[in-house]
Chain A
Amino acid sequence: MYGLIHTALRDLVLENHGEEKWNDIVSHSGVQPNSFLTMRSYNDDVTMALVDAASKALQLPTDECLKIFGHYWASKFAPREYGRLLDHVGGSLVEFFQNLDALHDRISTSMTEFKPPSFTVKVNTENSVVIRYSSGRKGLTSFVVGIIIGSGERFHTAIHVDKIDLKSTQQGEVSDILISMVESNE
């Protein structure tokens, strides 16, 4: 994964738990000090080592840690770093996830090692949809759930995750995430 993911995790920990906690996480993860260059591609092991170390340091289960991270990514980090770009992706949560693959297409022209997941949206009812997440990686559905909830905040939409149907594939996983949405007037 690209270093910007690690940078996002660092910012999350620094903002909420301070520098000492972050230094503790880096120290226990065993990653090299130069693992936080935004546009450098790192082995997935580096990312997972940081997540595991964060999970232990924050005394949270890994899935919960990933969910918090995904939420931070979608609600704070990505809008701050890529807000201009994200504004073109859609004006609502559904539109956003419908266009996310097209955004990833664009990103791939600049980040040649980018291996993003794929998203499709199937409308269930007026206020619920199934977002299908397909990835060549395992174990990141919780991160995506966090992204969905965080993205909902961006679009002033409260999200409730009703059901997650996770299937492992040969190399990754496919998750059907059923969500209910309530738009607020904020």
Chain B
Amino acid sequence: MSDPTFDLLDRMFTFTFSLDNKMRLSNVSSRLNNLCPAASNGSYFLEAFRCHRPATLSSFEDLAAAGDVLFLLISRDEQLALKGQMVATSDGAGLHFTGMPWLTWMQEKAPKVRLHLGDFPKLDSQMDQDFHLINQQSMVNDLGQLNEKLALAERDSRKSIRVQSELFAVMSHEMRTPLNGVISALSLLSEESNTVESKKIIDIANESANNLLSVINYALDFSKIDAGKMPLQTHDFSLVTMLGSVFAVTEGRANEKDIELSYAIAPEIQKIVVGDEEKIRQVLINIVGNAIKFTEAGGTVDVVVEQREKQFSFVVSDTGIGILKEDIPKVFDPFWGKSKSNSETSTGLGLNIVRQLVDLMSGEIEVESVDGVGTTFRIDIPLELTELDNVPVKKQSLDISQLTFSGRVLLVDDNQVNLMLGRMILENRGVSVRTACDGAEALKIIKDVFFDLVLMDISMPVMDGMEAVQQINLLASPPPVVALTANVGDDIAKRYLDAGFKGYLLKPLEKEAMIFELNTWLKPSNLDDTETIGSGEAVCNPNILEELCKQIGIENYLRVRSLFIDESQGRITSLLSAWIRRDLEKVRKESHALSSSVASFGCEDLSWRLRKIEGASSQGDATKIIKYMTDIESAAKDALDAVLRYGEPKGTRDQRSI
């Protein structure tokens, strides 16, 4: 039967058929018949198809009642699947089905059956969805490829950073080692020169060498910051002490140029803060150094410290040559340098490094300047406040230039120049010196000969310093070993201490640092003999222990004594460690805490020594600290041993019975 309605349906839908109440098929579309021969006019519905959805249909009434649900039909030969809907005829006597291929089922179950684009009505979205899914998969594949590239780039980046880091270490060593020779030799020559002219020439050479060292340090710092190898190292520190050290470094140059250099800290400012002291010092040394460099004789450089809550401002003003207005935005750019009539030039890296350091500390730096009048740098850095006592610490007076020592030192280095210069520096200080060229030779010598101190280079053939120190520390009564190194990474110090070194000295060797190290391990031989180091007090006063025992009972006493011994040993170690680092504030804290606790256990001599150290560190008098720090370790050991020997004082039996 041809009906315009069915012609219309046939054009709009791929598959159409009609059903009578006996479930016989009629008006089957030609496309349906082609794909499913069993679906022909006159055949029965359930002979041609099974109902996948709705699942429980077996009669015309069931079909009619299904209403507006989605029909999923599968041909009995499992070669065709349809999706569509049934609608009732106007008289209710029959049903019409309109639908299209069920694409997902066809792709899974009958992939060999070829369907054409024309088999899908224009309004059917199945093929669109399929295409969409394919595209989604493509995008996921894109993402996967991008992730692979990213991972590769990240690996390359890490490798590059590792290579760069290794380059730092090598360059640091290779550039500083020859400078070590130059600066040390010039230092010795300077001490021995006896004419004004020759001293002047040596000073010029010395200054040039130190300038070269500064440039090398700048370049290495620049690279380090760029590679993210300068993490913040925050700790408690004294602003006054820090400024004092900046003053100590810069005042010499200021004096030479007849420039008035002054510092001012408002009295209400909190003096003890928490921050990265070393980086702040580096920033200020650079800024103040620049101010001095670009100020003419007779000018002034002022440093003022201000505080507003946690924000600390360091304002450096000079009456120097100033900066041209158009150059001010460029001063922090790398490699920006200037040359003016005073013939001072800049490497161009210092201020860039300063800004990067300030940025690392979450601070800000600004500059104002008038050409020919002067310049002001303002550095704002947030610092945490502490609850420590606001102890004013005077500028350190480090008058140790004349100290000599008695003792025996083994100097180990594969560089003959370093050995020669090192020997000369040490022997000038009265020390007996023997040398070795590598770790293996040093180890052999140490097994037979006693040394008070070993100074050892790290990079050596045969056996390097790291391996040698570990071998040395396995010996019975090993001497202390201090590393000599040109490496200056932030993690280097920890690595050396972990390996067993007692400390480290940076090359090129600085006289002051060397003397401090000698003083830690050797006995000064020319201290003022009129003042005895010992107090004359008792190592351990037994009466105090007896009284203590009576008050708290023997059991409590033994318990408290055990805690006291442990804590005291820990604090002594901490005190010595602070002294090695030249952390005077920490030295003061530890000696203060320990002096009272040892006094309560009758260790009067030790308490006296600690109070002397506390006082000397409060005044910043390093010479006095040196004097009283000598033998502190053995004095502490004697005192604690004495306390342990007085384990059960007299009269305690009576106490217990009460």
Contacts and interface: CB of A to CB of B under 8 A. Distances in A.
Interface of A: 3-4, 36-39, 81-82, 84-85, 87-91, 99, 102-103, 105-107, 109-111
Interface residues of B, number: 21
B138 A102 contact: no
Contacts of A110: 128, 131-132, 135
Contact of B142 (A38, A82, A111): A38
Nearest to B140: A38
B130 interface: yes
A85 to B, nearest CB: 6
A107 B132 CA distance: 9
B138 A99 contact: no
Given A38-B135, A85-B131, 20 more contacts: A4-B138, A36-B142, A38-B141, A81-B134, A81-B138, A84-B130, A84-B134, A85-B127, A85-B134, A88-B114, A88-B115, A88-B119, A88-B127, A89-B117, A102-B117, A105-B122, A106-B131, A107-B131, A110-B132, A110-B135
B656 interface: no
Contacts of A82: 131, 134
10 contacts: A81-B134, A84-B134, A88-B116, A88-B117, A88-B119, A89-B116, A99-B116, A102-B117, A106-B127, A111-B135
Contacts of B114: 87-88, 91
A109 B128 contact: yes
Given A85-B134, A88-B117, A89-B117, A106 B139 contact: no
Interface string B251-294: 00000000000000000000000000000000000000000000
Contacts of A36: 142
B130 to A, nearest CB: 6
B109 to A, nearest CB: 14
A109 to B, nearest CB: 5
Contacts, number: 57
A67 B583 CA distance: 77
Closest 5 CB pairs of A and B: A38-B138, A109-B128, A102-B117, A110-B132, A99-B117
Interface in B354-391: none
A105 B131 CA distance: 12
A42 B459 CA distance: 57
B89 interface: no
Contacts of B228: none
B92 interface: no
Which of B116, B125, B141 has the most CB atoms of chain A within a 10 A radius of its CB?
A: B116
A102 B118 contact: yes
Contacts of A91: 114
B127 A37 contact: no
A36 B142 CA distance: 8
Contact of A39 (B117, B127, B139): B139
Contacts of A102: 117-118
A164 B610 CA distance: 104
A37 B122 CA distance: 29
A90 B355 CA distance: 69
B107 interface: yes
A7 to B, nearest CB: 8
Contacts of B142: 3, 36-39
A4 B131 CA distance: 14
B128 A106 contact: yes
Contacts of B141: 38
Contacts of A81: 134, 138
Contacts of B125: 109
A90 B138 contact: no
A81 B127 CA distance: 15
Interface string B605-643: 000000000000000000000000000000000000000
A85 B120 CA distance: 13
Contacts of B138: 4, 38-39, 81
A36 B149 CA distance: 13
Contacts of A87: 114
